[in-house]
Amino acid sequence: MNIRMTGWPAPRFSGQPRRLAFVYFTIGLALILPVAAAAWMGHALIAGQLKDLAAERAAFILRRAHSISAQFGTASRELQASGNGAPCSSGSIERMRQLAVRMNLLVGVGYVDGNELICSSFGFEPIDIGSPSYESSQGYYIRKNLPKKFNGSEDIILATDAATGYTAIIHKSTLLDSMPLETITGTGLLGMKSREIIAGNGKVTSSWFGQMIFSRAGVGVFNGNILAWNQSDKFDYLAYAVISESMVWNRFRRALLIIVPGGLLTGILLAWGTLILARMQTSIPSLIKAALKNGEFYLLYQPIVDLSDGRWVGAEALLRWRRATGEIVSPDIFIPIAEKVGLMGQITMRVLELVERDALALCETNKDFFISINFSAQDFSNSILLEKIEELIKSTGLAPRNFHIEATERVFLDPLAAESGISVLRKMGIEVAIDDFGTGFSGLAYLTNIRLDCLKIDKCFVQTICVESVTSNVIAHIIELAKSLNMKMIAEGTETLEQIQYLQKHGVHLAQGWYYGKPIPALEFATRMRSTM
């Protein structure tokens, strides 16, 4: 059942400044941590995406460089095969023009002698091209700083085969195929032997690479910039791509517009939940005490039925709490808190008082009818409650057989105290049942060491009857265990005819659940019970 929080009192910490500080510290963490975690994960995600983008770009540039190198190699071989010792003859120049058309990644093809481009696919016109920038380990002269008189010199690269003089004329944009700089802030090709940039754009210098230890391919961070590289396994160069630190933070700042509101909302929800939990933990004990004083607790009774003939032979007393405001508080909320703060003894005492009031009305038509009362683990070591049970029997004039005590499996957390309390009750003639068997702390050792009369099969196992489930066979084992220990069985949570038939077939004695009836007040219970007799 749900609890509406409207009208609940503010937290009462009763002079506990440390707890107050802890609660507000926890609320602060609940607000801050989701935002911080979302921001951290957002930054990591963006950085990861940009690293992937840089790696993809470096791989693309390497593939393009390989293609350019392959086309130059083909052109050089064909020119050697047809040159006949005259690399700049009219026939050779025509051949260069044909190759320039075919080789779509080359601007042109030419022949270099010394520091002059003697001829090319553009014709016979010697041009001073200056000294090579460097020589690769494969024997190619690379010229990247051409004289200004060389048309478009700032964008042209010459690669000359030192052995033949044949030269590829390459435009940087063909090699780099630059994508918009708002994404990739630098790309290029680096000579491995010289650690000099063959071609590149963006604010990248060769000094960056001197501080990197290169594997064949990788992604690293240099001065906050993402640097991806991919080294050729055929030639003396590697391709790289760079994304600046500012790009990472620009994207991160844009992402914060989404991340922060989401993280803040999560933080607010967590903080609210923490505050509500703190309010519940601190205010419910005082509310329980007030409820005990004001008579807000009451009992409902759910029938326990003999499976052989359908008669109502017993009832479980179920505690409920209705506040003065009309709000219903679930036992799942107040019972654990009552156990934690030591109020269960008072609550169980109230249950016994209510049972004492209702017992005669329930048992007047059947002298063997029993009322089943729940005891917490703490109750079995409470001598006052054990004395109250004895007083209950005397004051009602009923027999001990008219009262059963149900122990939850938590009783086995302290087996010595449990054994002592159970022994006292059984000596009175009161049967003791283990409730919710199989869901918590019980085991065969406890059942053999601590003598009990009845085993209640939890509804979670009953509901697997005729259902495909990994726990479908557990109920059969529980039934056989109870039989081996000569224990009476009560199946909880029975809701269907199929479940009833299965339980009857397997020798279960009693059942309890909505199939037979929901929990109802004592007078209504007594009236309906008479109709089943």
Express each pLDDT in 54-67 by its tens digit: 888 888 889 989 99
Q: Would you say residue 18 lies in a domain?
A: no
48's enclosing H/E stretch is: helix 17-82
Looking at residue 347, its pLDDT comes to 93
Looking at residue 7, its pLDDT comes to 35
In sequence order, which residues have a C-beta less than 8 Å from that of residue 488 and are 6 or more positions away? 431, 433, 453, 454, 455, 482, 509, 510
Are 135 and 218 found together in one domain? Answer: yes
Q: Would you say residue 254 lies in a domain?
A: no
Domain containing residue 421: CATH number: 3.20.20.450
Looking at residue 28, its pLDDT comes to 56
Whether the pLDDT of residue 528 is over 50: the answer is yes
Are 362 and 430 found together in one domain? Answer: yes
Sequence-separated contacts (24+) of 446-451 with Cβ below 8 Å: 446/412, 446/415, 447/481, 447/485, 447/487, 448/485, 449/415, 449/419, 450/412, 450/415, 450/418, 450/419, 450/422, 451/422, 451/423, 451/426
Give CA–CA dist 68/435, Å, rounded: 81
Are 300 and 186 found together in one domain? Answer: no
Q: Would you say residue 133 lies in a domain?
A: yes
Looking at residue 6, its pLDDT comes to 35
Q: Would you say residue 14 lies in a domain?
A: no
DSSP 68-115: HHHHHHHHHHHHHHH-TT-TTSHHHHHHHHHHHHH-TT-SEEEEEETT
Given strand 123-128, what is the order of strands in its sheet?
123-128, 116-120, 108-113, 166-171, 156-161, 140-143, 134-135
Q: Where are the beta strands (DSSP E) in 307-416?
A: 312-322, 328-329, 370-375, 403-407
> Parallel, antiparallel, or unpaired for β 454-457 and 431-437?
parallel
Are 242 and 388 found together in one domain? Answer: no
Instruction: Give the chain's mean pLDDT.
Output: 80
Give CA–CA dist 128/151, Å, rounded: 12
Query: Across the strands, what pairs with 243?
Result: 226
Which residue segment(s) compose the domain that 481 sits in? 295-532
Q: What is the pTM of this model?
A: 0.50
Are 182 and 330 found together in one domain? Answer: no
Residue 440: both structure tokens together: 């918590």
Are 199 and 323 found together in one domain? Answer: no
454's enclosing H/E stretch is: strand 454-457
Q: Would you mind telling me the total number of residues written for the chain in this entry?
A: 533
Are 437 and 377 found together in one domain? Answer: yes
Domain boundary among 247, 277, 306: 247
Express each pLDDT in 441-460 by its tens digit: 555 556 767 788 899 988 88
Express each pLDDT in 362-407 by its tens digit: 998 888 999 999 998 888 888 899 999 999 999 999 999 999 999 8
Q: Would you say residue 289 lies in a domain?
A: no
> Parallel, antiparallel, or unpaired for β 134-135 and 140-143?
antiparallel
Dihedral angle sign, alpha carbons of residues 300, 409, 468, 507: negative
Name the range with the highest mean pLDDT among 20-24, 80-84, 399-403: 399-403
Give CA–CA dist 344/352, Å, rounded: 12
Residue 156: both structure tokens together: 């042209």
Nearest of 14, 183, 165 to residue 76 by alpha carbon:
165
| CA atoms within a 13 Å half-sphere pointing along the CA-CB vector of 184 | 25
Q: Categorize the per-residue pLDDT at 302 as very low, low, confident or very high, splitting at 50, 70 and 90.
A: very high
Give CA–CA dist 243/182, Å, rounded: 9
Whether the pLDDT of residue 18 is over 50: the answer is yes
C-alpha pair distances (Å), 218 with each of 55, 189, 241, 384, 419: 7, 15, 11, 75, 68
Give CA–CA dist 520/516, Å, rounded: 12
Express each pLDDT in 455-507 by its tens digit: 998 888 888 888 766 556 788 888 888 888 888 999 999 999 999 999 999 99
Cα first-last separation, the chain? 33
Residue 237: DSSP 8-state:
E
Number of folded domains that form the chain: 2
C-alpha pair distances (Å), 363 with each of 84, 347, 453, 528: 124, 23, 21, 13
Are 230 and 347 found together in one domain? Answer: no
Domain boundary among 215, 247, 279: 247
Give CA–CA dist 109/87, Å, rounded: 11
Domain boundary among 213, 247, 281: 247
Are 435 and 355 found together in one domain? Answer: yes
Query: Across the strands, what pairs with 434?
Result: 407, 455
Q: Where are the beta strands (DSSP E) in 294-381?
A: 297-306, 312-322, 328-329, 370-375
Looking at residue 42, its pLDDT comes to 59
Q: Would you say residue 29 lies in a domain?
A: no
Q: Find the mean pLDDT for residues 42-71.
A: 83
> Parallel, antiparallel, or unpaired for β 488-492 and 454-457?
parallel
Residue 412: DSSP 8-state:
G
Q: Categorize the per-residue pLDDT at 532 as very low, low, confident or very high, splitting at 50, 70 and 90.
A: low
Are 218 and 352 found together in one domain? Answer: no
Are 89 and 227 found together in one domain? Answer: yes
Are 239 and 299 found together in one domain? Answer: no
Output b/e per residue, 22-55; b: 16+ Cβ within 10 A.
ebeebbeebbeebbeebbeebbeebbeebbebbb
